[in-house]
């Protein structure tokens, strides 16, 4: 079984400031890691994913994330946020061997202020 | 636009009733996943179908059932509805069943049980 913990339920930040959204996971097997974004009244959109290889993954809209196996973390970062980045962000895992479905964290609400 | 469509967008019904939510996957995608998003439970995987067959089950109640038809669209049936079933129900599709395959999410159906 897997679980995902997003340590911050809300992150307020000023426009053009950097941001980090934290994600830790627990799993008895190797996993794939994902970050999804949900804009108000919309479905989820994939930001980026880690499958293998380089631990630094770049995604859409200037976001990147770093996989840290020893700390079982997959934190999401952006060097300079925009008002349009205001949304809910979900970290998710799926196991490599069997179950294909995603296990999601509880989400982090990013609020970008002018 | 992810290419995944869900109908209806909103559904309001009374306790004890039965409803059917419909999902059309992206063209060519064989796999369909159903997720429930509620305030208290977060985003939870319910069930997955691949080319008409059930592939995986998550936290799906016995009152809920799903199927995938030969044209690959899927329906989620919710019966004996309770207030706690009020949630946003998402459908996602992917091309294969591999855990690394990106899942594309529909806009969701918001179910309100009164």
**Following CA atoms A41, A47, A52, A55 in sequence, which dihedral angle do they give, to the nearest 10 degrees?**
-130
For testing contact with chain A, the best of B31, B35, B43 (most A CBs within 10 A) = B43
Instruction: Please report the pLDDT score of residue B96 as a whole number.
Output: 65
Chain A residues in contact with chain B using a Cβ-Cβ cutoff of 8 Å? 32, 36, 42-46, 49, 51, 90, 94-97, 99-107
User: Across the interface, do A32 and B99 touch by the CB < 8 Å criterion?
Assistant: yes
Q: Which residues of A touch B43 (CB under 8 A)?
A: 90, 104, 107
Cα torsion angle, A105, A111, A112, B1, sign: positive
CA atoms within 13 Å, Cβ hemisphere of A45: 16
Q: Name the pLDDT band for A31 (thresholds 50, 70, 90).
A: confident
Look up tokens 């925009």; give the residue.
A82
pLDDT per residue as tens digits for the range B18-51 = 999 999 999 989 999 999 999 888 999 999 999 9
Q: Which residue has the tokens 């196991």?
A: A95
The residues near A37 (Cβ < 8 Å, ≥ 6 apart) are A44, A45, A47, A61, A87, A88, A89, A90
Average confidence (pLDDT) over A102-114: 95
Question: pLDDT tens-digit profile of A43-99?
Answer: 899 999 998 888 999 999 999 999 999 999 999 999 999 999 999 999 999 876 656
| Cβ distance of A104 and B42 shorter than 8 Å | yes
What would the pLDDT profile of B70-95 be if each residue is shown by its tens digit? 999 999 999 999 999 999 999 999 98
Give the Cα separation of A102 and B6 in Å (integer). 19
Q: How distant is the Cα of B80 from the closest Cα of chain A, in angstroms?
A: 26
């Amino acid at each position: 079984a897997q679980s995902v913990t997003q340590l911050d339920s809300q992150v307020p930040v000023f426009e053009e400031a950097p941001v980090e959204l934290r994600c830790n996971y627990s799993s008895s097997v190797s996993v794939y890691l994902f970050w999804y974004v949900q804009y108000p009244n919309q479905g989820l959109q994939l930001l980026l994913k880690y499958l293998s290889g380089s631990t630094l993954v770049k995604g859409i809209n200037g976001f990147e994330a770093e996989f840290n196996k020893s700390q079982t973390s997959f934190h999401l970062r952006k060097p300079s946020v925009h008002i349009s980045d205001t949304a809910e962000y979900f970290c998710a895992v799926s196991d490599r061997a069997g179950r294909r479905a995603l296990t999601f964290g509880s989400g982090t609400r990013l609020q970008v202020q002018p | 636009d992810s290419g995944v469509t869900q109908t209806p967008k909103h559904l309001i019904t009374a306790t004890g009733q039965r409803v059917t939510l419909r999902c059309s996957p992206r063209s060519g995608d064989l796999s369909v996943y159903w997720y429930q998003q509620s305030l208290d439970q977060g985003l939870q995987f319910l069930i997955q179908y691949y080319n008409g067959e059930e592939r995986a089950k998550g936290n799906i109640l016995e009152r809920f059932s799903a199927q995938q038809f030969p044209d690959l669209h899927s329906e989620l049936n919710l019966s004996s509805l309770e207030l706690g079933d009020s949630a946003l129900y998402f459908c996602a599709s992917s091309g294969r069943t591999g855990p690394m395959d990106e899942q594309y999410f529909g806009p969701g159906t918001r179910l309100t049980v009164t």
